[in-house]
Chains A and B, each alone.
Chain A
């Protein structure tokens, strides 16, 4: 079956992935993750004392994520500084990661995750989640498992994996649908499901199955990156 993908990729073909840990020397843990032209760099600081004090939780540590696009990452210069979009995605990334973290050991502290996108070609939030999961593992934070994330999509009537910018802007037929998901790597639990566009209910099941396969491939890349940290 020929696909409508502008890049000519097969429906379940992902862009080339890159992953590396230990890229930010001053951070306690850091990682870079990329899908083709989309690149995310994550740095983890902490656990460290949380200020302001009224935000401290004596029963557990808290996770604070800051996601942002750098101003030169997109073709129309992005105005620097926090925006509605970046705040929302920061929150969503935090929620996607929290189920695998165990921060009970670090009461009254915060773990700061800074994720920046130096180069964007759609699917930035899932690249950010993958990078952040690697950086948290590298920082030695107790984790049940890793998280792998991928953006599923639908152009016209066809389901695709790993959406890029051209596909996000697809307008023919039923148009484009963006469906980012995040999955706990060694189990079938999903920690992020978002949907932007239209999709038939029966296709969601199919998309999740395709996404699961893609997440397994991403997990292999993440695993390799962590193991290669020690040459």
Chain B
């Protein structure tokens, strides 16, 4: 009996390399059996492993999870996000990062010393920053701008895509975003909250980069998207 189970598991592992995915809706049974472990967006209901939200079901070895296809951004620790400064308090900045709860950037988290009376010279209301989430407490999200590529974003423009499409835009180990950067020569920062900042040498290249990002966000379900985009750049 035991060997049968291990056999099944090893079989499943082989299958998982093909990455069989299917769309599931809340309450739908993804798979039955005691061998599977419910991951994110999935719960166990007796024999069955049931989806808890709408998305793509993925079975990786024994773990079953649901990858979201839509919906609002839910903040996670260590995410890089883009945000807009909406208020200056005595010890930091309040930042709108487009998610439940407001972001707070303490004065101590800025890379250099800033006089409390001249905070608006460093970051004024309306400025856009790239920041990293370093902690999520009951109410409020703590941000930091210490780190490479973080801080105030000047020039260029920002736009939004659906936060669930961000992983595809970045690609495996940044392959996709580097492809766009190489082909357009633009500076691009992608926030996990779906805000994207682009600064290019000229308007044409920045607009092309934006078009590429929006194309990827639209064609998110194609397999082998990086190769597809290489073709896209030679055509356009």
Contact = CB atoms under 8 A, between A and B. Distances in A.
A49 B102 contact: yes
B23 A230 contact: yes
Interface string B16-31: 0000000101111000
B101 interface: yes
- The interface centre, meaning the residue of B71, B72, B139 with most chain A CB atoms within 10 A of its CB, is B72
B27 A146 contact: yes
A157 interface: no
Interface string B91-131: 00000000111100000000000000000000000000000
Interface string B21-48: 0010111100000000000010000000
Contacts of B184: none
> Which label, helix, strand, loop or mixed, suits the secondary structure of the A interface?
loop
Contacts of A49: 100-102
B27 A143 contact: yes
Nearest to B99: A48
A142 interface: yes
A137 B53 contact: yes
Interface in B64-81: 68-72, 74
B26 A146 contact: yes
A33 interface: no
Contacts of A231: 221
Nearest to B98: A48
A143 B26 contact: yes
B70 A22 contact: yes
Contacts of B164: 140
Contact of B71 (A141, A144, A146, A185): A141
Contacts of A223: 25, 28
Nearest to A101: B26
A17 interface: no
B66 to A, nearest CB: 9
A230 B56 CA distance: 10
Contact of A108 (B54, B74, B99, B139): B139
B52 A142 contact: yes
B231 interface: no
Interface residues of A, number: 34
The number of chain B residues touching the other chain, given as a range, is 20 to 34
Contact of B54 (A105, A107, A138): A138
Nearest to A226: B25
Given A139-B72, A140-B53, A143-B52, A227 B25 contact: yes
B55 interface: yes
Contacts of A106: 100
Contacts of A137: 25-26, 53-54
Nearest to A28: B72
A102 B138 CA distance: 18
A53 B110 CA distance: 29
B67 to A, nearest CB: 10
List 8 A-B pairs, minimum CB-CB distance, nearest first. Answer: A140-B71, A145-B27, A143-B26, A109-B100, A137-B54, A28-B72, A47-B100, A226-B25
Interface of B: 23, 25-28, 41, 52-55, 68-72, 74, 99-102, 138-139, 164, 221
10 contacts: A58-B138, A108-B100, A109-B100, A141-B53, A143-B26, A226-B54, A227-B23, A227-B25, A229-B70, A231-B221
Given A46-B100, A58-B138, 17 more contacts: A28-B71, A58-B139, A138-B54, A138-B70, A139-B72, A140-B53, A140-B54, A140-B164, A142-B41, A142-B53, A143-B52, A144-B26, A222-B25, A226-B23, A227-B23, A227-B25, A230-B23
